[in-house]
Amino acid sequence: MSLALDEARQAFLAGETPVGALAVRGNEIIARGGNLKEQKRLAFSHAELEVMTQASRVVGDWRLSEVTVYVTLEPCIMCAGAMLQARLKRLVYGCADPKAGAIESLYSLAEDSRLNHQISVRSGVLASQSRKMLQQFFQLLRMRDKLSKKG
């Protein structure tokens, strides 16, 4: 998870919401990255989707049934849905997302027995570090917005 936090820091420095992710197969990191929504100007360029796209290329298949994704923030509905569609083996995430989290906060998509696939989940890994970085980022955005309204 500390490597995912490194990816989140890079996203922060690039002006992106600081979410970082890794895809691991066995003991090998096969993909890494962060949010690219602002850079790509695409709503679906979340860290998880960017990393799963890279991982699929490495694996040579859309099925990621032997892959674990580590991400600093609880995935949203879109990312959780993509993880289910990709048959992801395991998800490890940092802090909860009470406004958009689809794994435990608002929904429990990863473990919904009505769906044809479930994902093993571990949450809260380095949660305070992940949360702190997000809070700092949004605090800076609010300050920037205040300053731009004054000027």
The catalytic site residues sit at 48
Could you tell me which residues are beta bridge partners of residue 76?
A: none
| Rounded (5°) CA angle 88-94-95 | 120
The secondary structure element, H or E, covering residue 85 is helix 77-85
Residue 97 tokens, joined? 């997302």
Judge whether 17 and 137 are in contact, CB under 8 Å.
Answer: yes
